[in-house]
Amino acid sequence: MKILVCITHVPDTTSKIQFTDNNTKFDTTGVQFIIGPYDDYALARAVELRDQTGGKLTVLNVGLAESDPTLRKALAIGADEAIRVNAEPKDSFFVASQIAHYAKEGGYDLILMGRESIDFNGGMVHGMVGEILGMPSFSPVMKLDVEGSTVKMAREIEGGKEMLEATLPLIAGCQEPIAEWKIPNMRGIMSARTKPLNVVEAVSEETQAEATQYQLPPAKGAVKLIDKDNVGELVKLLKNEAKVL
């Protein structure tokens, strides 16, 4: 089975976010980048499936050279090869177009990715790739098993989960608890240095959206402490200041 896992190169969740050029560009100074946490779940499950069924596991990222360490980490976790589409990930449609083009040429049986990236939280790429390729897409998938050409999945829905069956090939946007994150061991880190990381050029520059300006959330206000016996004052503040009542 040929598996493709699409990963994002995103700021660590503990990073302090700042913008430059009149709030039109993200300031990467001092920011540590990681594999998107939801992509990490997809990659972990893909490694398990590859080990169970045999075949080949490829990771793909749409990004510039700064993404290479992130791809090397994915190789250390267990991917067999890495592909970087050499382009800035401008918007969801652009990224989906690049993934779809490469996936079509590669003839993959299963395409996994996170349910969303944690920088823009769009959650659209898996659906767009499915539409472009004419392939079924499911998200958010919290359980995925492959039996021959049949895929059995559990998908989170409001108030519960939905059990699904589909036939390969397909696309899944993954989330916990589909698998446990895998931490690269020393052997994986050493072998990642010799695994192929190929760079290909983007096939198109077409985009559908453009971010014109970014804005930080408002700073947190001061905390007001209310005596536990002063319920009336608490209700007054919640109603008149917090406006939640």
Joined together, the tokens standing for residue 220 give 């947190």
CATH (domain of 92): 3.40.50.620
pLDDT in tens, 50-100: 999 889 999 999 999 999 999 999 999 999 999 999 999 989 999 999 999
Is pLDDT above 80 for 127?
yes
Averaged pLDDT for residues 130-149: 95
Partners of residue 150 on adjacent β-strands:
147, 167
- The answer to whether position 196 is within a domain reads yes
Q: How far is CA 51 from CA 2, 74, 123, 191, in A?
A: 12, 15, 28, 17
Residue recorded with tokens 């608890």? 177
Q: In whole angstroms, give the CA distance from residue 40 to residue 26.
A: 23
Share of the chain above pLDDT 90, in %: 63
Partners of residue 238 on adjacent β-strands:
none
Query: Please, which residues have CB within 8 angstroms of residue 149's CB and are 6 or more apart in sequence?
Result: 167, 168
What is the identity of the amino acid at 142?
A: M
- The answer to whether position 229 is within a domain reads no
Identify the three-state secondary structure at position 92: helix
- The answer to whether position 61 is within a domain reads yes
Domain that holds residue 112: 2-219
Q: In whole angstroms, give the CA distance from residue 89 to residue 56.
A: 25
Partners of residue 57 on adjacent β-strands:
3
- The answer to whether position 225 is within a domain reads no
- The answer to whether position 27 is within a domain reads yes
What is the number of structural domains in the chain? 1
- The answer to whether position 232 is within a domain reads no
- The answer to whether position 74 is within a domain reads yes
Q: Which DSSP symbol is given to 232?
A: H
Note the pTM of the prediction, 2 decimals: 0.84
- The answer to whether position 239 is within a domain reads no
